[in-house]
A and B are shown apart, each in its own frame.
Chain A
Amino acid sequence: MIDWILYHWLVRNSFDPEALTPLVAADPDALTQPEGACPDAPTQPEGADPGALPDSLTAPVGRDWFGLSEAPLRLDDVNEFLVRPSCGANVVFTGTTRDHAGNRDGVDLLTYEAYESAALRRLAEVLAEARMRWSEVVALVAIHRVGDVPVGEAAVIVGASSPHREAAFSAAGFCIDAVKATVPIWKRERHSGGADWGLEGASLINAAAVSNPSPSPEIGSES
């Protein structure tokens, strides 16, 4: 919670010369340094706005933010969390609920069900694995909606920030692949012909077994 509050403070006070010190003081080499060189949030909790956090979404822990939420996921909150003075690259993927699946049309509502305690642990493992593979990454996000989600809303958001874009793209790509492959969350689609669980079930694997994302996904790939 504290770090989350601090980021709100940072955003509100971004024109404060004190808050800008890390940027002003940075030399061109600073951006090429690994994650250890990236300063975390300032340490002043004034101006905190805890109410900005959806009730059911747990607060970020340090530079990791993972969680499950019955409330809508807010892209602005994710961006605020990811943006750091040391990072020039912020990659965010939003998976939104869609009105069709395969040949099935008329999907109007999706319901996500989670094995909550295990899902939270698995989400944490996804971020830990991403951090291990791309050490330059600074902040990481993996948050998932649960319960009823109308078509067009965000069901999942993952994101990564890093000094340069390669690590952020790779880590974010890995995170969405790994969330889908490793976290016990099920999707039920309500459509014109009834309601069904997702079309293509897969067995859960662990994060270490998820491949690195390919640099350029094949156009039209359905996976």
Chain B
Amino acid sequence: MPEVLLFAQAREVAGRTGIMVEGTTVASVIEELIERFGPEFSDVVAVSNVWVNGEPAESDSAVGVNDEVAILPPVSGGLE
């Protein structure tokens, strides 16, 4: 099962730093996460980047059992 890493708001809304979920594409993994964590999580995902194995991925990107999917909310950058 792919491992999903959750950061910042995604981690807070889900209440955990990571989770193993079913899914063979980015889209199906996301669907499973939204199912599990609800509409608030959906709102975060809507503005987040999704990476697979540390690189940007598209929603139709394939996800294998050993892949690492990361949900990356917008970075805060800072004003300094």
Q: Footprint of B on A, CB under 8 Å?
A: 95-96, 98, 101-102, 113, 115, 117-118, 121, 155, 180-181, 183-188, 197-204, 206, 222-223
Q: Which residues of B contact A200 (CB under 8 A)?
A: 76-77, 79
Q: Does residue B33 face the partner (Cβ distance < 8 Å to A)? A: no
CB–CB A98/B80 < 8 A? yes
Interface residues on B, range: 20 to 34
Q: Which residues of A contact B56 (CB under 8 A)?
A: 204, 206
CB-contact partner of A181 in B11, B77, B79, B80, under 8 A: B77
CB-contact partner of B8 in A121, A180, A197, A223, under 8 A: A197
CB-contact partner of A204 in B9, B11, B49, B79, under 8 A: B49
Report the separation of the CA atoms of residues A98 and B77 in the bound assembly, to the nearest whole angstrom.
13
CB-contact partner of B75 in A98, A101, A121, A185, under 8 A: A185
| Chain B, range 49-78, C-beta contacts under 8 Å to A | 49, 51, 54, 56, 70, 72-78
Q: Which residues of B contact A202 (CB under 8 A)?
A: 74-75, 77
Report the separation of the CA atoms of residues A117 and B76 in the bound assembly, to the nearest whole angstrom.
19
CB-contact partner of B78 in A113, A115, A180, under 8 A: A180
What is the minimal beta-carbon distance from B35 to any residue of chain A, in angstroms? 24
Q: Which residues of B contact A121 (CB under 8 A)?
A: 54
